[in-house]
Amino acid sequence: MRRAILLAGVLFLVGCTGSTPPAFWATIEPNRAQVPFEAVITAAGYGETYTFYLPDETITQAGSTLEVTVDSLDWTATVETSYGGEIHTDVVHASGTNAAPEIHGLTINGLGDRWSLKPLERTLLQFSVSAGGEIVAVDVWGSAYSQHYSIFIAPYDGSYHAVYLGQYWENACIVYPMYRSIEGEDLPYAPTGLETGYPQLVGRWTNVWNFGGPEDEGQEIPAQQGYVKVTAKNEWGQRTTKTFEVPILGRDYQEAPPP
């Protein structure tokens, strides 16, 4: 009887170890650092070959470890091997600790001591951002009216830069406070001929005010709070948005904007 029990126990252990393969696993170390960083994927050493499905390539090799470069903030890879007549996989994740871009400040017309906007004045808005960041959106409006003003980034190519007084400014744009061009056009109409690549507004009215018409005489633009909302993005796709409050000075329509 004792011999039968012992034999049954041995058969049970053999059956367990022979029919149930060990669990497959894979890890990546380090799994969190400032991108780009070097890391090592290590898989359980049960298979004969291993396939590593990386974000930009696939590698098959005999070894169960692989050195990789984590080059995105959210990085994922899959490791695959075969043993016990079955395919086994595991997924590893790594993440970047890179900081989002910072928007340090706004400079108006290149002057460090100016903090106001004047209606219809050709105005340079230039933003300082942290290294690796760039401006990707600017929105300007005032508290007295619902319309947001036209933004000019000339020479126009979709990136935020501007030419102002013969100088090229990065992370910048031109705005004519209170001026919004006609909607539905590929490029906004510029009230002066200084914005390269934009059609000039000649004999047409804007959406905010009908500048130049006889009905405009005697009307005033009230002093109000202005808002400059800007978004920066870095090379890893992280975005930061900041809004500056800049007073818009009151001004009579009949007063021509400075050149």
Q: What is the pLDDT of residues 56-111, one digit of tens each?
A: 999 999 999 999 999 999 999 999 999 988 999 999 999 999 999 999 999 999 99
Domain limits, CATH 2.60.40.10, in the chain: 2-96
Mean pLDDT value across residues 137-153:
93
Q: For residue 15, what pLDDT is reported? A: 45
CATH architecture, range 2-96: Sandwich (2.60)
* Structure-token pair, residue 200: 């000039």
Distance (Å, rounded) from C-alpha 193 to C-alpha 66? Answer: 60
Distance between CA atoms of 246 and 228, rounded to whole angstroms?
7
pLDDT tens, position by position, 148-199: 999 999 888 889 999 999 999 999 999 999 888 888 778 899 888 899 889 9
Side chain identity at 95, as an amino acid letter?
S
Helix/strand/coil for 8: helix
Report residue 21: phi and psi, to 5°. Answer: -70, 150
Does the bond joining 30 to the residue before it have cis omega, within 30 degrees of 0?
A: yes
Q: Write out pLDDT tens, residues 12-66.
A: 433 444 556 679 999 999 999 999 999 999 999 988 999 999 999 999 999 999 9
Q: Are 85 and 19 in contact (CB under 8 A)?
A: no
Select from 2.60.40, 1.10.287, 2.60.120, 3.40.50 the CATH code of 103-252.
2.60.40
Report residue 184 as tokens.
């539905």
The mean per-residue pLDDT over the stretch 127-139 comes to: 96
Is the pLDDT at 141 greater than 90? The verdict is: yes
